[in-house]
Chains A and B, each alone.
Chain A
Amino acid sequence: MSVQAADVAPIVEAVAARLPGAVAEIRSDRGQAIVYIAPEAIVDVCRFLKEEQQFERLAGITAVDWYPLDPRFEVVYFLHSLSRQQRLRLKCRVAEEQAELDSLTAVWRSANWYEREVFDLFGIRFRGHPNLRRIMLPEDWEGHPLRKDYPVHGFKYGYKDES
């Protein structure tokens, strides 16, 4: 019942051969491959995967906040190859002070809204994004709710016994 076609090793080797230094780490969890990419190489890696390794789809982008670890964020990219029926998960580690990555909108247009969502809810910026505005929350919202130091009930409305 494994979702992932297991063997992504040749793909990762091809990436490492073409873009030396881009692949930082390879891990596998429950049979699903996770590849850590150096943040500055993410656009090149994705363009290579799309154009030469048949990863036609970007299924989504999200982030995980590992507060208080440093680097704090992991941005996660879900890639999918239709012709090979293979999935690949890329990750970039991002520190809080320099919470910025290059935008993937030039590679897949589906990245547009996903990057806006990550910006809105995590406060990670994407360089070169054509329209980096909040997407879920109102424009004047303060803070980024999916960060771990953001309380579930928000800052504005606490419980009665809290100040």
Chain B
Amino acid sequence: MNDAALETPAAAAGRRLTLNLGPQHPSTHGVLRLLVEIEGEFIRKAEPDIGFLHTGIEKQCEALTWQQAVTLTDRVDYLANLSNNLCYALAVEKLLGLEIPPKAQWMRVLLAELTRINSHLVWLGTQALDIGAMSVFLYCFREREDILRIFEMFSGQRMMTSYIRIGGLALEPPRGWDRAVSKFIRGFPAKIQEYEDLLTRNPIWLRRTQGVGCLPLADLIDLGVTGPVLRASGLAWDIRKTEPYSSYEKFDFAIPTRTEGDVYARYLVRLEEMRQSARIVEQALAGMPEGAYQADAPKVVLPDREKMKTQMEALIYHFKIVTEGFQVPAGEVYQAVESPRGELGYYVVSDGTAKPYRVFMRTPSFANLQALPRMIENRLLADTIAAMGSLDFVLGDVDR
């Protein structure tokens, strides 16, 4: 933005205006209310007001059985359902001491990476839309639709998949899933190039994003920011590499980083992450192990339909799991995964009964949003929209 054309801060000093951005403003990506005090075009103070989407998910988890609570994890971050399913399932499996068969682990990786692409596509489309580049949104949603179709093929649901369950996967992967995924993923890198052609050297895009929303790396860490925002400021930290889960250590991928730390750097990091995710999906396709898609744990996993009709024990287990759920040994576990937005952590406490005693979700959006005021204070109001979009928060993930 051309600062000279605007009212100088000196002229506007003393004429402070309190402005209410949201909660229904479209660029807040949900229902975020942002109270800003402005002097002319400059923001002097900003305060996010959250909680409009608070639905007490953590409390509701305590009223459901362990397996039922999976459906609530979908609704936390509605753009990264499978990452949430995965994190919760890993935490409970650790409490149970369950061993997950390789095929289920690889399938989870494949789905988590498709989720990352899905989430980044929504981010890219809406970020561009906010800044005024309408058409990028249409391109992104074209590919997102393909991913949602794949999710529907797997689970019967486009968004609230609940496909990753405690003990493995909900259903056997459908016939022809590999063809559908490979058709999408082969064509995808060319699509990323299309987005790049639209934006990477676009002068309007550059002027709206470069040098906007910067914070020193130490401040970001202190504020608890994680994920692509941190990597765009130069820290190559990715939980998939440092604390690998679900066989991520068997995949070959790079952690893209930039050092500028502005909105443009975050854009470049996320685009590169989509390319890396596509690589992981291709590796998962090529090396998908054979075998069971659920753990061999009759007390936790529902028995095969055929077994249930022919074996007494299987019928008893089925009855017990369906009527009262399964008990999880007392204890507590904190499990972190790299969601598209950063560190997603589930802290799960069991008192030995069939329902979770406490589920705490350490959601990346909550921590990332906390850093927003420091990024936009004493900067132009117009930059707020760009900075806000670049944090890529989902209000469902913030409010839970």
Give me the interface of A with B, judged by CB distance under 8 Å.
Answer: 1, 3, 29-30, 32, 34, 56-60, 62, 64-65, 76, 78, 82, 85, 87, 89, 108-110, 112-113, 121, 134-138, 145-146, 150, 152
Q: Bound state CA distance, A110 and B224, in angstroms?
A: 5
- Rounded to whole Å, the gap between the CB of A61 and the closest CB of chain B is 9
CB-CB nearest in chain B for A82: B237
Known: A29-B332, A85-B243, A89-B334. A78 touches B362 (CB 8 A): yes
A93–B343 alpha-carbon span in the complex (Å): 26
Q: Are B242 and A85 in contact (CB under 8 A)?
A: yes
Given pairs A29-B332, A30-B331, A145-B59, 15 additional interface contacts (CB within 8 A): A1-B244, A30-B94, A59-B224, A59-B336, A60-B345, A60-B360, A64-B349, A82-B237, A87-B336, A89-B334, A134-B51, A136-B399, A145-B56, A152-B59, A152-B62
- A-facing mask of B221-247, CB < 8 A → 1, else 0? 111100000000001010000111100
Number of A-B residue pairs with CB-CB distance less than 8 Å in the complex they form? 94
Cβ–Cβ contact B51 & A59, under 8 A: no
Q: How far is the CB of B249 from chain A (nearest CB, A)?
A: 9
List 19 A–B pairs whose Cβ atoms lie within 8 Å, in order of A's numbering.
A1-B245, A3-B245, A3-B336, A29-B333, A32-B333, A60-B224, A60-B345, A78-B345, A78-B362, A82-B237, A85-B243, A110-B367, A113-B370, A121-B58, A136-B51, A145-B59, A146-B58, A152-B60, A152-B63
Closest 3 CB pairs of A and B: A110-B224, A62-B360, A136-B54
Q: Name the distance in Å between A32's Cβ and chain B's nearest Cβ.
A: 6
Determine the chain A residues whose CB is within 8 A of the CB of B224 once the complex forms.
Answer: 57-60, 108-110
CA distance A59 to B333 in the complex (A): 15
Q: Mark contacts of B318-337 with chain A using CB atoms, 8 A cut-off: 1 yes-contact digit, 0 otherwise.
A: 00000000000001111110
What is the CB-to-nearest-CB distance from B89 to chain A, in angstroms, rounded to a whole number?
13
* Nearest chain A residue, comparing its CB with the CB of B347: A62
What are the residues of chain B within 8 A of A60 when measuring CB–CB?
224, 345, 347, 360, 362, 367
Which chain B residues have a beta carbon within 8 Å of chain A's beta carbons? 50-51, 54, 56, 58-60, 62-63, 94-95, 221-224, 235, 237, 242-245, 331-336, 343, 345, 347, 349, 357-358, 360, 362, 366-367, 370, 399-400
Q: Are the CB atoms of B223 and A109 closer together than 8 Å?
A: yes
Q: Cα distance A144–B359 when bound, in Å?
A: 16
Q: Are B331 and A137 in contact (CB under 8 A)?
A: no
Interchain CB contact under 8 A, B221 and A82: yes
Most chain B CB within 10 A, of A78, A87, A89, is at: A78
Query: For the complex, what is the distance from the CA of A89 to the CA of B63, rounded to whole Å?
Result: 26
CB-CB nearest in chain A for B218? A56
**Given the complex, which residues of B lie within 8 Å of A57, measured CB to CB?**
221, 224
Residue of A whose beta carbon sits closest to that of B360: A62
**Is the CB–CB distance between A3 and B222 below 8 Å?**
no
A24 to B51 Cα, complex, angstroms? 36
Most buried by B among A32, A59, A150: A59
Q: Residues of A contacting B94 with CB < 8 Å?
A: 1, 30
Q: A59-B362, A108-B224 are in contact. Are A78 and B334 (CB under 8 A)?
A: yes
Chain B nearest Cβ from A135, distance in angstroms: 6
**Smallest CB separation, A68 vs chain B (Å):** 13
Give Cα A57 to B371, complex, Å.
Answer: 14
Which residues in A have their C-beta under 8 angstroms from that of B360?
60, 62, 76
Instruction: Provide the residues of chain A in CB contact with B244, threshold 8 Å.
Output: 1
- C-alpha gap A158/B358 in the complex (Å): 23
Residue of B nearest to A147 (CB): B59
Q: How far is the CB of A66 from chain B (nearest CB, A)?
A: 9
Q: Which of A58, A85, A108, A136 has the most CB atoms of chain B within a 10 A radius of its CB?
A: A136
Task: State whether A113 touches B366 (Cβ < 8 A).
Answer: yes
Could you tell me if B331 and A59 are in contact, using CB atoms closer than 8 angstroms? no
Give the residue name and chain of the A residue nearest to B400 (CB).
A136
In the complex, which residue of chain A has the Cβ closest to the Cβ of B367? A110
Name the A residues within 8 Å of B367 (CB-CB): 59-60, 110, 113
Residues in A with CB closer than 8 Å to B334 are 3, 32, 78, 87, 89
Cα–Cα, bound, A110→B220 (Å): 9
Complex: chain B residue closest to A117, CB-CB: B366
| Contact between B345 and A59, CB atoms less than 8 A apart | yes
Chain B residues in 8 Å Cβ range of A146: 58-59
Query: In the assembly, what is the distance between CA of A134 and CA of B357, in Å?
Result: 23
Residues in B with CB closer than 8 Å to A56 are 221-222
Write out the residue numbers on chain B whose beta carbons fall within 8 Å of the beta carbon of A58.
224
Q: Bound complex: CA of A30 vs CA of B334, how far in Å?
A: 10
Q: B235, A82: Cβ atoms under 8 Å?
A: yes
A3 touches B370 (CB 8 A): no
- In the bound complex, residues from chain B placing their C-beta under 8 Å from that of A82 are 221, 235, 237
B63 neighbours in A (Cβ, 8 Å):
152
